[in-house]
């Protein structure tokens, strides 16, 4: 991030009251907040230490790291955080910070007890500093996954072969699918490993594959297999449930829960299932794992029995958890460094040939990670652009867009909104027509035809501005009332009693002269509710890209913010473009698009490699 140092009003709350020490310049620059400063000062006081400036800065940056999504702060690259590199802040050297931390009671403990709120760690990326809570959570993940990888489950290979052959019937020669069946390989990996990490982009068949993996494991493990299904949100759990329900090859039908519900996490923080009361399942599936924070993942892994097959599913290239950590991305990166061999019997069960996986993918297979690559959902141009975005190849992204000439994907200037207006009004008119006729099925079908997606909630490029603009465009088709007929709605609060989840979308329709109702498509079944039955909802002609995760639309208009926006990242662009089944229009400038492709979400973590906590006893 670049730009001039911000001007602050002391009354705004951005400045730490009374702070006149070393941290003041960092606070005034906007790099750290008053809360970061106060926590650092408080930790110093609790540790009975007048902490050195370097230690206070490390503590404040560790607090900032968690607030901004990282697990730790990498000391060798902290100067990269400078808001204004042309007028750099008074950064201490890495050696000076490490030396100060090594003798600080915040790291080694003080005379009043074992309180050590910071952890100093050596890693492949140099010295890292954590708030100790998050270091311990990361270590829990590392320890449990390493322990699970140290052995392989006993498998009757003949029985496993028969199960895979039964579930994955040979594909027809002209079915248009891939030459090599990675879904079958995923089942082979799950049969021969305690942990399987199944990743892939939208439309690669992840949950379709999971259902069939469960069918294989039922056959391999015998009758009475207990299966636990979960996802980070209620909506994601409902989608996982629908995918499992669509497969009729299971003897039993497991029920999907949120991760919190599966673990029995109560509002007071009490957790029912943990290391002393493990989950009672033989197989546990976690969908949308990219949305899990390091805290949630550590709690989940601690609750899974050692002899349970664990299947983690998700897309590591999508936007990550809103809380600290990017666990799925870390695990896929960590597997690239794996030196583990393939599970015994896997190659035979997967019908693995020498060229079916690249050398990097084979390393990941040794680390129990398998990537599905064949897309079944959207056009090849959109898939090619998404792949180029993931590679960070901005030139290729722009070349593909120019070559396509707007057939599947186009880039338009922020002021050239005539086509956006036409498409948006046409869509809203179709919703209005179906809604006025009380035709719920047509209305919800139209709901999935189009959407405007924004990076921000507020400002010129945010949902608020675009919602007001869309309202001005459609005044001719809009009817007065709190929820006009044809209005697309986004539910923002879960109500299990009526089966509606945070993130569900519906459309207002006429209700036979009795007023209006809101129609939802619940995996093929149309559900209608009176607006009063919705705990909270908002208009959804425009929505944030983050909110759109897990959804698909025929056509999307993606509104990019300017290149200086901190939200403009590769993951944001990838997530937005892959929401489209048929066509993508990107509103922005070429340099904004290039900035998005060039900038990855930077979440510091030690989970990708090996780490060693510094201890004065072994220094």
Known binding positions: 200-207
Closest CA to 164 of 348, 314, 344: 348
Residue 380: exposure state from Cβ atoms within 10 A (0-12, 13-18, ≥19): exposed
Closest CA to 120 of 75, 175, 183, 185: 75
Cβ atoms 72, 122 nearer than 8 A: no
User: Which phi-psi region, left, alpha or beta, contains residue 468 (left: φ > 0; alpha: ψ -120 to 50)?
Assistant: alpha
**Residue that the structure tokens 């009758």 belong to:** 223
Determine the Cα–Cα distance for residues 432 and 484; give it in Å rounded to an integer: 9
Hey, how many other C-beta atoms are within 10 angstroms of the C-beta on 14?
16
Determine the Cα–Cα distance for residues 125 and 131; give it in Å rounded to an integer: 17
For residue 556, what are the β-bridge partners? 451, 584
Q: Provide the token pair at 616.
A: 């004065």
Longest Cα pair distance anywhere in the chain, in angstroms?
Answer: 79
User: Which phi-psi region, left, alpha or beta, contains residue 365 (left: φ > 0; alpha: ψ -120 to 50)?
Assistant: alpha
Closest CA to 408 of 388, 390, 385: 385
Please report the sign of the dihedral spanned by the C-alpha atoms of residue 487, residue 490, residue 494, residue 497: positive
- DSSP for 237-251 reads HHHHHHHHHT----S
Q: Provide the token pair at 263.
A: 């673990």
Enumerate residues 6+ apart whose C-beta is below 8 A from 109: 115, 116
Cβ atoms 217, 191 nearer than 8 A: yes
Q: Provide the token pair at 282.
A: 């033989």
Annotated binding site for ATP: 200-207
Tell me the residue ranges of DSSP E strands in 16-146: 72-74, 118-123, 128-131
């Amino acid at each position: 991030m670049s730009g001039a140092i911000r001007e602050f009003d002391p009354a705004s709350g951005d400045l730490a009251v009374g702070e006149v020490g070393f941290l003041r310049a960092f606070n005034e620059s906007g790099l750290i907040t008053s809360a970061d400063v106060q926590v650092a000062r408080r930790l110093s006081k609790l540790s009975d230490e007048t902490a050195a400036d370097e230690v206070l800065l490390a503590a404040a940056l560790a607090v900032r790291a968690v607030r901004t999504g990282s697990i730790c702060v990498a000391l060798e690259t902290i100067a990269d955080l400078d808001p204004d590199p042309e007028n750099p802040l008074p950064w201490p050297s890495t050696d000076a910070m490490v030396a100060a931390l090594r003798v600080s009671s915040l790291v080694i403990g003080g005379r009043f007890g074992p309180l050590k709120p910071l952890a100093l760690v050596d890693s492949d990326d140099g010295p890292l500093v954590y708030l100790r809570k998050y270091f311990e959570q990361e270590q829990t993940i590392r320890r449990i996954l390493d322990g699970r990888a140290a052995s392989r489950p006993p498998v009757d290979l003949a029985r496993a072969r028969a199960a895979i052959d039964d579930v994955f019937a040979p594909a027809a020669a002209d079915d248009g699918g891939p030459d090599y069946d990675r879904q079958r390989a995923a089942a082979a990996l799950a049969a021969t490993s305690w942990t399987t990490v199944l990743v892939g982009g939208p439309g690669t068949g992840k949950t379709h594959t999971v259902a069939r993996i469960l069918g294989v494991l039922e056959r391999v493990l015998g009758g009475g297999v207990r299966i636990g299904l979960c996802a980070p949100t209620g909506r994601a759990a409902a989608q996982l449930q629908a995918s499992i329900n669509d497969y009729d090859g299971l003897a039993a039908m497991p029920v999907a829960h949120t991760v919190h519900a599966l673990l029995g996490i109560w509002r007071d923080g009490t957790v029912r299932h943990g290391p002393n009361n493990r989950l009672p399942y033989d197989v546990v599936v976690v969908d949308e794992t990219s949305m899990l924070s390091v805290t949630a993942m550590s709690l989940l892994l601690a609750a899974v029995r050692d002899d349970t097959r664990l299947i983690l599913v998700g897309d590591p290239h999508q936007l990550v958890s809103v809380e600290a950590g990017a666990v799925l991305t870390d695990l896929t990166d960590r597997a690239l460094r794996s030196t583990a061999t393939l599970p015994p019997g896997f190659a035979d069960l997967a019908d693995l040939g020498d060229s079916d996986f690249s050398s990097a993918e084979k390393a990941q297979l040794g680390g129990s990670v398998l990537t599905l690559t064949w897309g079944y959902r959207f056009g090849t141009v959109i898939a090619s652009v998404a792949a180029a975005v993931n590679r960070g190849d901005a030139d290729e992204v722009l070349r593909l867009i120019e070559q396509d000439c707007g057939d599947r994907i186009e880039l338009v200037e922020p002021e050239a909104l005539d086509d956006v207006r036409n498409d948006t009004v046409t869509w809203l008119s179709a919703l209005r027509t179906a809604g006025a006729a009380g035709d719920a099925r047509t209305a919800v079908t139209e709901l999935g035809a189009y959407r405007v997606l924004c990076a921000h909630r507020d400002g010129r490029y945010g949902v608020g501005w675009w919602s007001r603009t869309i309202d001005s465009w459609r005044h001719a088709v809009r009817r007065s009332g709190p929820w006009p007929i044809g209005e697309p709605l986004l539910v923002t609060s879960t109500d299990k009693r009526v089966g509606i989840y945070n993130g569900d979308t519906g459309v207002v329709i006429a209700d036979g002269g009795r007023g209006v109702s809101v129609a939802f498509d619940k995996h093929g079944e149309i559900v209608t509710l009176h607006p009063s039955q919705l705990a909270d909802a908002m208009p959804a002609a425009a929505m944030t890209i983050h909110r759109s995760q897990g959804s698909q639309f025929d056509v999307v208009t993606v509104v990019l913010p300017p290149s200086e926006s901190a939200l403009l990242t590769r993951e944001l662009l990838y997530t937005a473009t892959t929401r489209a089944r048929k066509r993508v229009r990107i509103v922005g400038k070429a340099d904004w698009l290039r900035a998005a492709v060039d900038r990855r979400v930077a979440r510091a973590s030690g989970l990708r490699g090996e780490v060693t906590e510094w201890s004065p006893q072994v220094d």
